[in-house]
Amino acid sequence: MRKILTLSMLWLFTITVLWASNTKFVPVRLSQDEINYLMKDLESKNKEYDESKKMLFCVTQNKHYHSDLDSGVIVHQTRESLEYAVALLKTENETYKKRAVDIIKTILPMQEKDESLPFCGIWPYYPEDPLKGREAAVDYNWADFIAVPLIDVIINHSDYIGQRLVKEIKDALVLSAKAIKKRNVQPDYTNICIMGTYVCYVVGDICGLPEMTDYAHSRLVNFYNYTIKNKGFTEYNSPTYTLVAMDELLRMQQTIINPADRKIIDALYAMCWEMIATHFHQPSGQWCGPNLRSYSSLAVPEFYRLLYNASDGEINLPGDYPRIPNVMKPHHIPTNILPYFLKSTLPRLEIDTFVVANPDIQIERSFLEKRKDMKDNISTKDIIGRLYASPDFALASINQGYMWNQTRPLIAHWGTPMKPSYLQVRFLHDGYDFSAINIIAAQDSTTVLAIFNIAEDGGDTHPSLDRVQNGNFKAKDLRLRIEVGGDLENTSFTKPDQTNGDVYFVSRELRSIFRVPYAKWGNEDGYWEIGRDEQRIWADFVLYSGKEKNFNLSKLKEAVLGLYLSMSASHEPESYPVRVDKDRDYLGLSTDNLRVKALLRPAEELRVRNDYEIKYLDWLKPDKDVFNFSKK
């Protein structure tokens, strides 16, 4: 990260903290104009309110790993309903305020209060999917997510709801804070660590629990020190988690007045905005990759509204979104960061060290190929992202990542804010993103060379909740997908004549080439397929498709795929020859300026993610037209 943060870790430990002045709770009352804005925001939510259940309802869209329910089920939402209730209380409309109280009284009893149970203090997603007796894992984050709106009710609306309900809410908040403290989420889980810190900090003060406030202060300092040492959030460049973290940091700014803690909070808040600014592609209006934890491959209208409001209207991207203040989340872009959004330097190359290696973690390696030392140890490696942003497109990659559906390790954007497009590389197991697949990638500016391999103990649909057991999994279909979505005008793939030939891609002025220089999955070599639906087109490199069969990874001598990608808007993309070399352990791919080497056989996850080599043989010959920003 650039040197915006000026606190030192040593200084943090020598502060004399005045615990008598940690927080300041001043009820916020909106102006009539602000209430009018809020009423407009509530119009869509009002349609989702179920008067009979006193909650918002929705229909589940897919099977979630924290729920026993399938898709297509009508449910009532705890978190969304409470957030709705908080907004209703701020309208000063008596009918709405009574509705808010009904919602709160409905949801409070859903919290588990039996302290003998491990999930005491937690709420379910929906009353239709209770915590007791379920098969799916409990989402302990709901102690944090439900506590946040309840704190807002206590701070801003205690005078209206009455002392009895105030006491019931405080009792629930104490259980939530205890659950959060017991769980003790570490700094590598960014948004929940920040959110839980806020909950414990405030609950400690409003409920007279100084030990809880002490815990929250220590947790805040620990999170800050970890983040500085790690050069950013573990969920790097996340359009989802960065914004959640910003919301919680904003709440802290509004309530925490302890001087030392406020400096930490303000510094972390600025870090969030800097990450967004340096990965914002002005021509397409996109928050570009690479991303860990992203729910969409294109920016959503809420993001454009955030930029508009946080810049006081200076960032006014075209599109259909409310250009009215978000009175519930009054964010502001720091003045020294705003210019990054308003005037882009293009072309440019952003290089981010997202996660710093931990030399204390040692990984033992054994080899099949005859070597002098048949075993040795390696440590983890830095996770480094690269974003090439030009006036015509943005291409981003991570040097090491995995293919979960919430990651964007290799992604491109182009077009305009009104008609944006994306290209995302995915790896699918029976049609769903396969978390056990790892990617190692090298990128100069417009070219990426990557290897995909597999962890024998990696996750399936989730990185940790449904891991491959004993190196065995069943599959009907395994394929690498080059997916394009968004605006598809004059956009197409051309299937190669040969089985393993080059695939050409055209999207208006954009040109790209894709090549699989090497692929082997057991006895399968793979082949290209082209497809589309109403919203996307794709080129798939199919490794297996047929009857369901069991794959025993311990018996696969090779489970690997290489990919060459080149992109251009002003001329035909570069089509460099890719040299292939391999032995019984590793696959190596190289062009004149890029080299990637990674395991070609399955191994344990930690080794697969760190046992690789990347070399830049002719790394970005000095080019006066490309600005290189390296943040290490």
Q: What is the 3-class SS of 295-321, one letter each residue?
A: CCCCCCHHHHHHHHHHCCCCCCCCCCC
Q: How confident is the model at residue 628, as a pLDDT?
A: 56
* 475-487 pLDDT tens trace: 999 999 999 999 9
Q: How confident is the model at residue 371, as a pLDDT?
A: 67
- Reported confidence tier of residue 65, pLDDT bands at 50, 70, 90: confident
Class of domain 9-276: mainly alpha
Q: DSSP letters along 398-417, please?
A: ESEEE--TTEESEEEEEE-S
- Reported confidence tier of residue 369, pLDDT bands at 50, 70, 90: confident
- Reported confidence tier of residue 179, pLDDT bands at 50, 70, 90: very high
pTM score, whole prediction = 0.88
Averaged pLDDT score across all residues of the chain? 93
Cα separation, 567 vs 447, whole angstroms: 7
Average pLDDT over residues 45-58: 98
- Reported confidence tier of residue 630, pLDDT bands at 50, 70, 90: low
* 493-506 pLDDT tens trace: 998 877 678 999 99
429 closest CA partner among 557, 544, 519:
544
Of 324-328, 461-465, 507-511, minimum mean pLDDT range: 324-328
Q: How confident is the model at residue 63, as a pLDDT?
A: 80
- Reported confidence tier of residue 247, pLDDT bands at 50, 70, 90: very high
Q: Indicate whether 626 pLDDT > 90.
A: no
Write down the domain spans for the chain. 9-276, 349-631
- Reported confidence tier of residue 81, pLDDT bands at 50, 70, 90: very high
Q: How confident is the model at residue 524, as a pLDDT?
A: 93
Cα separation, 588 vs 518, whole angstroms: 10
Cα separation, 166 vs 207, whole angstroms: 11
Q: Indicate whether 15 pLDDT > 50.
A: no
Q: Indicate whether 381 pLDDT > 80.
A: yes
Cα separation, 70 vs 101, whole angstroms: 31
Q: Give residues with Cβ within 8 angstroms of 10, minimum separation 6.
A: none
Gyration radius (Cα) of the chain, Å: 26
Q: Indicate whether 432 pLDDT > 50.
A: yes
Residues linked to residue 151 through DSSP beta bridges, in sequence order: none
Q: How confident is the model at residue 536, as a pLDDT?
A: 98
Paired sense of beta strands 586-590 and 280-281, if any: unpaired
Average pLDDT over residues 357-365: 93
Of 181-185, 327-331, 583-587, minimum mean pLDDT range: 327-331
Q: Indicate whether 7 pLDDT > 90.
A: no
Average pLDDT over residues 604-632: 72
- The residue ranges of DSSP E strands in 399-509, in sequence order, are 400-402, 407-408, 410-415, 420-429, 432-433, 437-443, 447-454, 472-486, 491-494, 503-507
Average pLDDT over residues 108-130: 97
Cα separation, 73 vs 71, whole angstroms: 6
8 A C-beta contact, residue 88 and residue 97: yes
